Amino acid sequence: MSAHAVFDYAALTDAGRVRTHNEDAIAVAPECGLVVLADGMGGYAAGEVASDIAISVIRDVVEQHFLQQAIVPDDLWEVLVDAVLEANTAILAATIDEPAYRGMGATLVTGLFHDARLVVAHVGDSRAYRIRDGMLQLITRDHSVLQEQIDAGLVTPAQARTSSIRNLVTRALGAESDLTVEVHEHAIEHGDVYLFCSDGLNDMLTDEEIASIVLHARTGLEGACAELINAANEAGGADNVSVVLVSMDRDERESRP
């Protein structure tokens, strides 16, 4: 993988079966190894505004950094966190400038691929998964009331799937100026596939269903994205659903029978 981490990817977003408009937003900049996915909140199209601001600001900040100076590995965390914090500031500023936008926000997951490293930053319950050696693993932890209840042993993961509070987040862009961004670094291995998604996917499908679709898709990353969204919609499509798949092994996946 090159230092700029040009990768094979596919991305798709859909309003789902219930929502009248799509408040999710996605952006991918393979030339600088960036993936951004935001799930807007606020209604009256304000959520759509928040998610659009989030992906635009983060992409601009990261791209400008790459244009102005060479990225070194130790910069990755700082660059990504700074970009997320700037997006948070921009959303808060928009809520002050436009009364109709007050209360809007967004959950976010973003990844920066560089050499054999991936730095993932997230806020809220948008997720990142890794598929390695046929196994799917969640590599983010939801910032949600329900996750806190799971951690405290008050509910089981099985009970959580039908909980009425599974969409109550404890962190979001636009919620406060003093935002805490969770960030982790992962070593990339040959053959890895990374999935970034909004909760409209994992609320509708189990981890086993998600893994099976990605692993058995016979039409590449684009086909896998479409199958994931179709499956979420067939399961009810209760929310907007967005997915980004990133493959670290383009040739092997394209030649798979």
Task: For residue range 144-173, list pLDDT tens digits in order.
Answer: 998 888 888 888 877 777 777 777 899 999
For 81-131, what is each residue's pLDDT tens digit? 999 999 999 999 999 999 889 999 999 999 999 988 999 999 999 999 999
Residue 66: C-alpha distances to residues 11, 90, 195, 246 (Å): 22, 21, 24, 20
pTM score: 0.92
Per-residue confidence band for 71, with pLDDT thresholds at 50, 70 and 90: low
User: Across the chain, what does the average pLDDT equal?
Assistant: 90
């976010």: which residue's tokens? 108
pLDDT at 69 over 80: no
pLDDT at 115: 86
Statement: residue 206 has pLDDT above 90? yes
Is the separation of the CB atoms in 55 and 36 below 8 Å? yes
Q: Tell me: the pLDDT tens digits for 20-60?
A: 899 999 999 998 899 999 999 986 669 999 999 999 999 99
Residues 6+ apart with CB under 8 A from 246: 7, 8, 9, 35, 111, 113, 193, 194, 195, 196
Question: If we measure between CA atoms, which residue out of 80, 107, 84 comes closest to residue 198?
Answer: 107
The pLDDT value recorded for residue 252 is 38
Residue 65 reports pLDDT greater than 70: yes
- From the list 73, 104, 72, the residue with the least C-alpha distance to 90 is 104
- Confirm if 34 and 114 have CB atoms less than 8 A apart: no
Q: For the chain, where are the alpha helices, taking DSSP H only?
A: 46-68, 76-97, 145-151, 157-160, 199-202, 207-216, 220-234, 250-254
> Could you count the other beta carbons within 10 Å of the beta carbon of residue 182?
16
Task: Determine the Cα angle at 53 with ends 50 and 57, to 5°.
Answer: 145
Q: Rounded to whole angstroms, what are the CA distances from 249 to 6, 193, 196?
A: 11, 8, 17
Whose CA is closest to 118, among 77, 156, 147, 89? 77
The predicted structure's pLDDT at residue 45? 67
Residue 250 has pLDDT above 80, yes or no: no
Question: Which pLDDT does position 242 carry in this prediction?
Answer: 98
Counts of helices then strands in the chain (DSSP H, E): 8, 10
